[in-house]
Amino acid sequence: MPRPPSAIETVLARPRAGLVVVLIVLPLTCWLWVVAMARDMYGPMSGASAWMMTVTWDTPRLVLLWAMWAAMMAGMMMPTAAPLLILYARAMRNRDGQRNAGARIYSMAAGYLVLWSAFSVAATILQRLLAATSWLTMMMEPSDSRFAAGLLILAGVYQLTPFKNVCLDACRSPVSLLSAKWREGMAGAFRMGASHGLYCLGCCWALMLLLFAGGVMNLTVILALTLWVAIEKLAPFGRQGARVGAALLLALSGWMALR
C-alpha cells in the first residue's frame, strides 16, 4: 500500500504554496547566501567567500563558483517570472482544478531556472578567462576602467536592438506564451518555463554582464541590476525604461573611459 502524503507534502502540493516557494522562499534563500558571501568578501574574507581567494581553481571550486552564479541569477530573476507563474496557476484552476497543480508550478520554475543555470556555466567560464588574463582582480572587479566601459557600451547598445525589444515584450506579456505554446502535464510546464526563460535570457544577458563591470559580488551593483530588470519586466513604463537605461549606460561608459 502506498504511503499517504505527510502534512508538509500535502501543503507543498497546493498551487498557492508552490507560488510562495518559488517566488519568495527560493529567491530569499539565494539572496541570504549571496549577501553572506558579499559581506565576507568585502570584510574579513574568512568565511563564505574564502574559497574564492585562490590561484588554484580545481573542479570543486569551479562548481562552487557556478553555484554562486546560479544562486545569484535565481535570486535576481525568479521573482520577475511571477506574472507567468501566477497566470499559469489561474489557467490550471480554470482548466482542470487542482490536479498536480503544485507539482506543475515547480516544474515550470525548474524549466525557467535551467536557462539561467546554463548562463551561469557561461558566466563561470568567462570569469575564469577574465581572471586568467588579468581583466578581473581576485576581488572579482575590473582591473581597467576601459574594460568596464566596454561592457557598459555593449549593454547600452544591446538595449536598443530589435532582439532586445522582442524578448522584453515576451517577458512582459506571458499570456501570449501560454496561449500560443500551452502544453499539458509536468513536461509541458517545464517546456513552457524554459521557453519563457529563453526570452528572459535574451532580454537580460547583457545587463547581467555588467556584474563584471561593477564587481561580481558588489551588493550595490547586484541590487541595482535586480531593480532595473524588475522595472523593465514588471513596471507599466518598463519598455520606455529600457531606452532610458540605454542612454544612461552609454553616458556612464563615456565617463568611465575618460577616467
The reply to whether 92 falls in a domain is yes
Q: What's the mean pLDDT when you consider all of the chain?
A: 87
Question: pLDDT band at residue 96, thresholds of 50, 70 and 90?
Answer: low
User: Rounded to whole angstroms, how far apart are CA atoms 245 and 159?
Assistant: 8
pLDDT band at 237 (very low <50, low <70, confident <90, very high): confident
- How many residues can be counted in the chain? 259
Render pLDDT for 146-196 as a digit per residue (tens, 0 to 9): 899 999 999 999 999 999 999 999 999 898 888 888 888 889 999 999 999
Query: How many domains does the chain divide into?
Result: 1
In a domain, 1, yes or no: no
Are the beta carbons of 70 and 116 closer than 8 angstroms?
Answer: yes
Q: What is the pLDDT of residues 2-31, one digit of tens each?
A: 554 554 444 445 677 889 999 999 999 999
| pTM summary value | 0.89
For the chain, the straight-line distance linking the first and the last C-alpha, in angstroms and rounded, comes to 72
What does the pLDDT read at residue 7?
A: 43
In this structure, is residue 85 part of a structural domain? yes
Domain limits for position 164: 7-257
Per the domain annotation, does 2 fall within a domain?
Answer: no
The answer to which of 50-59, 63-72, 165-174 has the lowest mean pLDDT is 50-59
DSSP state of 160: T
Q: What is the DSSP string of 202-243?
A: HHHHHHHTHHHHH-TT-HHHHHHHHHHHHHHHHSTTHHHHHH
Residue 95 lies in a domain: yes
